[in-house]
Amino acid sequence: MMNEFLMISFYGTAIALILIGLYATLAKKNLLKIVIGLSIADSGLNLLFMAIGYVKDGTAPIFSAEVVGKNVVMVDPVPQALVLTAIVIGFAVTAVALSLVMRLYRHHNTAAIDEIKNLKW
């Protein structure tokens, strides 16, 4: 029962975040909102990965002094390590995206995607 509740809340939240993020990226007209949408979708994906690595009743995969030698269930450490990498990469992409938005704003004096149309969209 508890496990199912956790499953639905984790998977559900992750998928909801992914879809909200994708929707914002596709439908919004403001460049800043598009970038925010990308970040939200990324967070959803990271949460999904973490949820996949969860093991029932598992603790953090750290062998601190209290845990050593005891038979403790630990969650899968690989998703956590990969999510760390994915977060940093997502951050880097967001930073570059924001700087592009700032430059477009400076150049066109607007952040609306409809008004920036020197190239075909």
| Window 75 to 94, contacts with other proteins (CB under 8 A) | 76-82, 84-86, 88-89, 91-93
Phi then psi for residue 78, to 5 deg, are -65, -50
How far apart CA 95 and CA 98 sit, in angstroms, is: 5
Q: How far is the CB of 23 from other proteins (least distance, A)?
A: 6
CB 102, min distance to other proteins, A: 7
Contact between 119 and other proteins by CB under 8 A: the answer reads yes
Give the number of other CB atoms < 10 A from CB of residue 39: 17
- Residues within window 18-77 making contact with other proteins, judged by CB under 8 A: 18-19, 22-23, 25-27, 31, 34, 38, 41-42, 45, 48-49, 51-56, 60-65, 68, 73-74, 76-77
